[in-house]
Structure 1
Amino acid sequence: MSASLIYDLAPIGSIVAWSDGSPRPPERHKKKLSAWQTRNSQGRLIRKEGKRGVGATSLTPCFTLHEGELGANGIIAIRIHRTFSLDSGLAFKVVERPALGSVRIFDRPGVNAELVHLAAHRQAAVEWLTRHGYPHAVLSEVTADEVAADHIEGRTAA
């Protein structure tokens, strides 16, 4: 599916895979494999941003995926995020949607909020918040209405 359909149909918290359609190179080709993995991977959908302007420049809508983290001994040093514009030529696929009843934790209220954690239920979300410092966090439960909204005009985000 296109980046545009991911933006329109996939709920925040979904696992989304992207691909350029090329075959995976053999493990022995380290540089080719590394380049291929940049264009073929997956991550959790953490943000959708609408059309916005910066000065005289207009930026197209986009979405951001959390691909992974680098660190050691339980300390995260770097978070890897990938942002895709709606005109991306890559192919996308929703691998997994957030479960009904799970709770998304956003770093702040508003349209530019970013998903920082997806908890299995509200109690787990509250416990997670006590261990992590997000003073303006917003909790949002995945509802049956939202899951039903994945089916629009006969299309699904899978």
Structure 2
Amino acid sequence: MSAHIVYESAPLGSVIRYSDGTAKPPARFTKKLAAWESRNGVGRLVRKGPPRDRATYSSPAYFTLHEGDFGQGSIIVVSVRRTWSVESDLRFEIIERPTIGMVRVLQELGDSPELLHLAKNREAAERWLAGNSYSRAYLEEVSSDEVGADVIEGRTAA
């Protein structure tokens, strides 16, 4: 599916796979492998931003995937995120959607919310929020209405 469809139909917290459709090169070709890995991967949808029109430029809508955190123990040194516009030429696939009862920890950031954490339930979300101080964070439960609308409209994960 296209990046535009992901932007329109995937809820925050969904796991998205992206690909350019090429075969993975052998490990001995390190530069080709690194280039391939930059255009093929998996991440959790953490943000969707609207298009912007300014006096000096305009940009299309975009979304951001969180691919992982690197560090030791509970200390995160690097958080890897990739952002694509809805005009991206890559192919995207929704692998998993949040299920009923999961709780998103969100923070309002500019024009749109950003997913900070996806918890299995409200208690786990509150526990995570107590250990990670964010001043404008709020909780949003994945409702049966949201999941039901996805099923009725044919937006179930592959």
TM, length-normalised to structure 2: 0.92
Partner of 1:97: 97
Q: Hey, what does 1:130 align to over in structure 2?
A: 130
1:45, CA displacement in angstroms? 0.2
Pair 1:120-2:120 in alignment: yes
Aligned to 2:40: 40
CA change 1:10–1:157 in 2 (3 A) is farther
Q: Unmatched 5+ residue regions in structure 1?
A: none
Moved over 6 A (4+): none
SS at match of 1:101: coil
Deviation at 1:152, TM superposition (A): 6.3
Aligned to 1:71: 71
Q: Which runs of 5+ in 2 are unaligned?
A: none
Cα distance in 2 for partners of 1:88, 1:40 equals: 13
Question: 1:144 aligned to 2:152?
Answer: no
Structure 1 residue aligned with 2:6: 6
User: For residues 106 and 58 of structure 1, what CA distance do their matches in structure 2 show?
Assistant: 27
Identity of aligned residues (%): 49
Query: Which residue of structure 2 aligns with residue 81 of structure 1?
Result: 81
Q: CA deviation at 1:43?
A: 0.3
What is the alpha-carbon distance in structure 1 between the residues aligned to residue 88 and residue 53 of structure 2?
19
TM-score, scaled relative to structure 1: 0.92
Report the 3-state secondary structure (helix = DSSP H, G, I; strand = E; otherwise coil) of the residue aligned with 2:78.
strand
Say what the alpha-carbon RMSD is for the aligned residues.
1.7
- Spell out, residue by residue over 1:11-52, the C-alpha distance to the aligned partner (whole angstroms, 9 max, x if none): 110000000000011122222111111100010000111112
Partner Cα separation in structure 2 for residue 76 and residue 94 of structure 1: 27
Q: Deviations over 1:29-82 (max 9, x none)?
A: 222111111100010000111112243312111111101122223211111111
